[in-house]
């Protein structure tokens, strides 16, 4: 393991930049010129797929309903979600050209002159998905009251967050897998406890150092600091942390969130007995887990410890 | 097989809407309220994964270099690609909020009042990827001149095209896999011939009716019609078509494209002998193939013909 705990390594580059450059040099990631936007090698994808199957094995007895969401969510649903209230700086709206031939001439002239040509772009009905579970709640609400046992979903989605960074573990576009439990407070808290245990067992089997800690989301602005403190104080969010480029600021690779009745109220999801559904989720940052493995076991997956390879490719 | 060739089925719905509603009713796709933006069921994803492995088996002796691209491409590369010249109506730029607390208050007031709140959104450095191979060419150009045998890539990316439609086979966000050959004109033409054959053999093994025909891209505006006609006349684009909701207008599920030296010149990719690289690609519309299979074999994959199941899940 080779993790710099200082802000700057001897090269003058931060530990994050050093690891990013190593990933480019070894062909694990491909540079696009934009921070946080990278191509992934075949070996990287093999790790993502293997970890995905490992999560499936750990969750297989729970009989979750699987849904794969595309990278976008319908704008009306996104607007209702409240995301712009809490995290406006992270969202990405999708805009398109909706003009005719004359407008197109203007656009091409702007492009040709190296000017900003995006002024004519108009917002479409699509916003990039910020977290895999956002499109789920309105989908569940349409099904009416929950059955007594509640519901469990297994989700996958590409997500977007506008936070360009040299930290390879902070990509702008990344995949998130989530199990989402919807039911009574007892059901969803039990689910979160189960996954807090399972998550640690599963990640320990991959030979990486880890710890679990209370956490908060990156709420926006002055008011956001209060929300963040409150979230920590009430223990609503835990993260499984693995040191990737820093021991002092390890990377959140899994997160375990109890939303109380936030989404159940917002989307009007009743429980079987007429209460308001509570929800909880466990999220897996697929790229972050892969990067943690590349950091701790090296850039050549064929050279990874046999015990780890057995877990990933049984 | 139950394909309506009339514009309207007895219900008053088009054949496309009928199939879309059937996919919603059977839980194969999940409605988001936006045309062309759907969740996919676990069964749908199992088909996508199985078809993905089938493509890998057919291409495995070619030793391609795999790259998985995220759903976005760097804006400077997109601008240079010329996409806004030919298909401005299809592109999606990603915009974010970059203001402070006061701007945020304005935004929230607009949202609350049900007004357009997207006016403050500013273009980021990311544009949604329109086709899996667009981010590849600048990546290859950085590697310098090609080796004498050229190069072969195996790509995967989520793609975006702003063309909302009730046709389930015309999604706004969909996955594309591509093999891309870069080399001499002879090398890339031979590659395209090989895949024209392989593609037909592979799709016939899935028990779907198909034909191959010359085609053109949806170039924009008045000038675009000439480009489209020229593309057809020179045989640069072929499509493998499968009837999904219409016999008369079958759906392009695979496409075979010879770009001549278009991308080689644009991105300055030299061949080993100092010429300009030619390129060709075969693209697989993953969702379209899955939908063709659901249409012809039914919504229950367990009930699909044993011969087809053997090909997909050997």
SS (H, E, C) A93-129: EEEECCCCHHHHHHHHHHHHCCCCCHHHCEEEEEEEC
Judged by a CB distance cut-off of 8 A, whether residue A91 touches chain B is yes
Please report the pLDDT score of residue B268 as a whole number. Answer: 97
A256 closest CA partner among A218, A214, A226, A292: A214
Instruction: Give the mean pLDDT of B24-53.
Output: 98
Establish if B270 belongs to a structural domain. Answer: yes
Is B169 found in the same domain as B115? Answer: no
Rg (CA), chain A: 21
Q: Which two tokens stand for residue A34?
A: 């934009």
Is A63 found in the same domain as A80? Answer: yes
Residue A115 to residues A110, A122, B36, B177, B239, Cα–Cα distance (Å): 5, 18, 32, 33, 37
The answer to which of A79-93, B2-16, B30-44, B161-175 has the lowest mean pLDDT is B2-16
Please, are residues B92 and A124 in contact by the beta-carbon 8 Å criterion? yes
Confidence of residue B10 (pLDDT cuts 50, 70, 90): low
Interface of B with A in 153-182 (CB under 8 A): 154, 156, 158, 160, 162, 164, 171-174
Distance CA A44, CA A292 (A): 11
B209-237 burial, b for 16+ CB within 10 Å, e for fewer? Answer: ebebeebbbebbeeebeebbeebeeeebb
Which residues lie below 8 Å from residue A232, measured CB to CB, with a gap of 6+?
A214, A215, A216
Shortest distance, CA B263 to any CA of chain A (angstroms):
17
Distance CA A244, CA A253 (A): 10
Please, are residues B171 and B40 in contact by the beta-carbon 8 Å criterion? no
Please, are residues A240 and A210 in contact by the beta-carbon 8 Å criterion? yes
Is A195 found in the same domain as A290? Answer: yes
Q: What percent of chain B has pLDDT over 90?
A: 90
A192 closest CA partner among A218, A208, A212: A212
Judged by a CB distance cut-off of 8 A, whether residue A125 touches chain B is yes
Instruction: Give the mean pLDDT of B12-28.
Output: 96
Confidence of residue B234 (pLDDT cuts 50, 70, 90): confident
A83 closest CA partner among A263, A297, A277: A263
DSSP one-letter code for A61: G
Distance CA B188, CA B185 (A): 5
Please report the pLDDT score of residue A218 as a whole number. Answer: 87
* Domain around A124: 96-128
Interface test mutation site (partner B, options A75, A125, A225, A301, max chain B beta carbons within 10 A)? A125
Mind giving me the DSSP string for chain B? -----SSB-TTSSBHHHHHHHHHHHTTSEEE-SSTT-EEEEHHHHHHHHHHHHHHHHHHGGG-PEEEE--SEEEHHHHHHHTHHHH-TTT--EEEE----HHHHHHHHHHHHTT---GGG-EEEEEEE-SSTTTTHHHHHHTT-SPPTT-EEEEEEEEEE-----S-TTS-SEEEEEEEEEEE-HHHHHHHHHHHHHHHHHHHHTTT---EEEE------HHHHHHHHHHHHHTT-EEEEEE-SS-SSS-EEEEEEEEEETHHHHHTT-B-TTSSBPEEEEEEEEHHHHHHHHHHHH-S-GGGS-HHHHHHH--
Backbone phi, psi, residue B55, to 5°? -60, -45
Instruction: Give the mean pLDDT of B283-310.
Output: 98
Instruction: Give the mean pLDDT of B150-177.
Output: 98
Q: What's the CATH code of the domain at B73?
A: 3.30.930.10
How many structural domains comprise chain B?
2
Is B234 found in the same domain as B85? Answer: yes
Is B225 found in the same domain as B103? Answer: no
Q: What angle do CA B205, B210, B214 make, to 5 degrees?
A: 130
Judged by a CB distance cut-off of 8 A, whether residue A82 touches chain B is no
Flag whether pLDDT at B83 surpasses 50: yes
Establish if B152 belongs to a structural domain. Answer: yes
Specify the pairing of strand B65-68 against strand B151-160: parallel
Is A188 found in the same domain as A284? Answer: yes
Which residues lie below 8 Å from residue A293, measured CB to CB, with a gap of 6+?
A47, A51, A206, A208, A304, A308
Alpha helices in A9-125 (DSSP H): 15-25, 42-59, 75-81, 83-86, 101-112
Is B260 found in the same domain as B237? Answer: yes
Is A201 found in the same domain as A111? Answer: no
Interface test mutation site (partner B, options A31, A73, A93, max chain B beta carbons within 10 A)? A93
Flag whether pLDDT at B4 surpasses 60: no
- Cβ–Cβ of A85/B108 closer than 8 Å? yes
Instruction: Return left, alpha or beta for B158; rule: phi > 0 is left, psi -120 to 50 is alpha, else beta.
Output: beta
Please, are residues A88 and A128 in contact by the beta-carbon 8 Å criterion? no
Please report the pLDDT score of residue A10 as a whole number. Answer: 61
Q: Which two tokens stand for residue B251?
A: 């759906």
Please, are residues B238 and B196 in contact by the beta-carbon 8 Å criterion? yes
Three-class DSSP category at A264 = helix
Number of neighbouring beta carbons within 10 Å of residue A19: 24
B5 closest CA partner among B17, B15, B18, B19: B15
Instruction: Give the mean pLDDT of B294-306.
Output: 98
Is A261 found in the same domain as A181? Answer: yes
Distance CA A5, CA A15 (A): 8
Judged by a CB distance cut-off of 8 A, whether residue A121 touches chain B is yes
B288 closest CA partner among B238, B243, B237, B257: B243
Q: What angle do CA B266, B181, B288 make, to 5 degrees?
A: 100
Establish if A8 belongs to a structural domain. Answer: no
Rounded to two decimals, the ipTM of the complex is: 0.95
Distance CA B313, CA B193 (A): 27
Establish if B252 belongs to a structural domain. Answer: yes
Is A142 found in the same domain as A124? Answer: no
DSSP H or E run through A41: strand A38-41
Distance CA B314, CA B166 (A): 34
Q: What angle do CA A209, A215, A217 make, to 5 degrees?
A: 125
More confident residue, B7 or A229: A229
Establish if B242 belongs to a structural domain. Answer: yes
Establish if B284 belongs to a structural domain. Answer: yes
DSSP one-letter code for A276: B
Confidence of residue B6 (pLDDT cuts 50, 70, 90): very low
Distance CA A263, CA A178 (A): 15
Please report the pLDDT score of residue B11 as a whole number. Answer: 73
Is B58 found in the same domain as B111? Answer: no
Please report the pLDDT score of residue B126 as a whole number. Answer: 98
* Average pLDDT for chain B: 95
Interface of A with B in 249-288 (CB under 8 A): none
The string of pLDDT tens digits covering residues B48-61 is: 999 999 999 999 99
Please, are residues A181 and A149 in contact by the beta-carbon 8 Å criterion? no
Considering only the beta carbons, identify the residue of B30, B100, B121 that sits closest to A93: B121
Shortest distance, CA B296 to any CA of chain A (angstroms):
22
Instruction: Give the mean pLDDT of B83-99.
Output: 97
Going residue by residue through chain A, which has 314 residues, state the pLDDT in tens, using 9 for 90 and above: 444 444 444 678 999 999 999 999 999 999 999 999 999 999 999 999 999 999 999 999 999 999 999 999 999 999 999 999 999 999 999 999 999 999 999 999 999 999 999 999 999 999 999 999 999 999 999 999 999 999 999 999 999 999 999 999 999 999 999 999 999 999 999 999 999 999 999 999 999 999 999 999 988 888 888 889 888 888 899 999 999 999 999 999 999 999 999 999 999 999 999 999 999 999 999 999 999 999 999 999 999 999 999 999 99
Establish if B139 belongs to a structural domain. Answer: yes
Establish if B3 belongs to a structural domain. Answer: no
Distance CA B172, CA B160 (A): 5
B174-199 burial, b for 16+ CB within 10 Å, e for fewer? Answer: bbbbbbbbbbbbebbbebbebbeebb
Is B78 found in the same domain as B32? Answer: yes
Q: Which two tokens stand for residue A309?
A: 């390879």
Q: Which two tokens stand for residue A37?
A: 């936007």
- Cβ–Cβ of A70/B171 closer than 8 Å? yes
């Amino acid at each position: 393991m080779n993790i710099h705990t200082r802000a700057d390594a001897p090269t003058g580059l931060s530990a994050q930049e050093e690891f990013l450059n190593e990933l480019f040099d070894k062909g694990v990631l491909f540079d696009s010129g934009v921070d946080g936007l990278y191509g992934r090698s075949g070996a990287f994808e093999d790790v993502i797929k293997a970890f995905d199957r490992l999560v499936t094995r750990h969750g297989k007895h729970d009989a979750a309903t699987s849904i794969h969401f595309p990278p976008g969510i319908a704008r009306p649903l996104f607007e209702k979600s409240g995301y712009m209230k809490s995290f406006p700086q992270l969202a990405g709206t999708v805009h398109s050209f909706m003009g005719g031939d004359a407008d197109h001439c203007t656009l091409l002239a702007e492009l040709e002159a190296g000017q900003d040509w995006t002024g004519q772009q108009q917002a479409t009905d699509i916003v990039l998905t910020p977290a895999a579970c956002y499109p789920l709640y309105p989908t569940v609400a349409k099904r009416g009251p929950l059955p007594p046992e509640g519901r469990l979903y297994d989700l996958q989605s590409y997500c977007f967050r506008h936070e360009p960074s040299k930290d390879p573990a902070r990509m702008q576009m990344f995949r998130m897998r989530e199990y989402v439990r919807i039911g009574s407070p007892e059901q969803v808290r039990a689910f979160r406890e189960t996954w807090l245990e399972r998550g640690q067992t599963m990640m320990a089997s991959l030979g990486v150092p880890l710890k679990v800690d209370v956490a908060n989301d990156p709420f926006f602005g002055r008011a956001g600091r209060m929300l963040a403190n409150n979230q920590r104080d009430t223990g609503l969010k835990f993260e499984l942390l693995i040191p990737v480029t820093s021991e002092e600021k390890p990377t959140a690779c899994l997160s375990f969130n109890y939303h109380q009745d936030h989404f159940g109220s917002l989307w009007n999801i009743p429980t079987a007995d007429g209460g308001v559904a509570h929800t909880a989720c466990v999220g897996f940052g697929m790229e972050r887990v892969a990067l943690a493995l590349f950091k701790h076991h090296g850039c050549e997956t064929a050279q990874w410890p046999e015990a780890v390879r057995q877990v990933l490719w049984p």
